[in-house]
Amino acid sequence: MLKEKAEIKGFTLIEVVAVLIVLSILAAVAVTVMGNDSARLAAQTEALKANIRYSQALSMTTGRCWGIRMNETNGRYWIFNCDDPANCPWDSNRVCPPGMECDGLSRFRMGEDFGVSLSFPGEGNSRTLSFDDFGRPFWDSSTEALQTLLASDLTLTLTDSPNSTSIIIRAETGFVP
């Protein structure tokens, strides 16, 4: 006579492991999808910091005026250089930041392409951050370079609504923490 199997209630180990694997994959996807805005803002902040440092390094190694020109209205900025800082036109020697795609005028379109806005102190919607051959920072109106030595720390604010972050440029040294 055959023995009847006792009815076992519960899940097998394979079933439990399969459910745990599916749940971990779903959790990993949910974590990466959440917080996209803050990741985009962090990436744009680090990119601008790197470009500020790059401009400063170029000024110190080449002995020429290098800097970043910024437009608050459309969130565009670009790296520039010029030989005569007292006469450095707004459109002079534009350079696309390394590793970035720019429009036809070598401007990085942070605001239009990434939804990140840039704001800074001072009158007008365009400003110039430039560095001399010692790496000292200057903060000027749109058409000038190396005219006004940065007397106090400068704060640039990047916003990707509702998040915002700041970049601080130290006076005298141009250090960007």
Q: Is residue 18 assigned to a domain?
A: no
Q: What is the rounded CA–CA span in Å between residue 4 and residue 38?
A: 61
Q: Is residue 23 assigned to a domain?
A: no
Of all residues in the chain, the percent with pLDDT exceeding 70 is: 82
Question: What pLDDT is attached to residue 47?
Answer: 87
- How confident is the model over 132-156, as pLDDT tens digits? 999 999 988 766 777 888 889 999 8
Of residues 169 and 32, more confidently modeled: 169
Average pLDDT, the chain: 81
Question: What pLDDT is attached to residue 126?
Answer: 79
Q: Is residue 162 assigned to a domain?
A: yes
- How confident is the model over 49-93, as pLDDT tens digits? 999 999 999 999 998 889 888 877 777 788 888 887 777 777 778
Q: Is residue 143 assigned to a domain?
A: yes
Statement: the pTM of the whole predicted model exceeds 0.85: no
∠10-12-17 over CA atoms, to 5°?
120
Which CATH number do you get for residue 104? 3.55.40
Q: Is residue 9 assigned to a domain?
A: no
Number of domains in the chain: 1
Q: Is residue 43 assigned to a domain?
A: yes
Boundaries of domain holding 57: 37-169
Q: Is residue 154 assigned to a domain?
A: yes
Q: Is residue 81 assigned to a domain?
A: yes
Tokens for 103? 């429009």
Question: What pLDDT is attached to residue 171?
Answer: 92
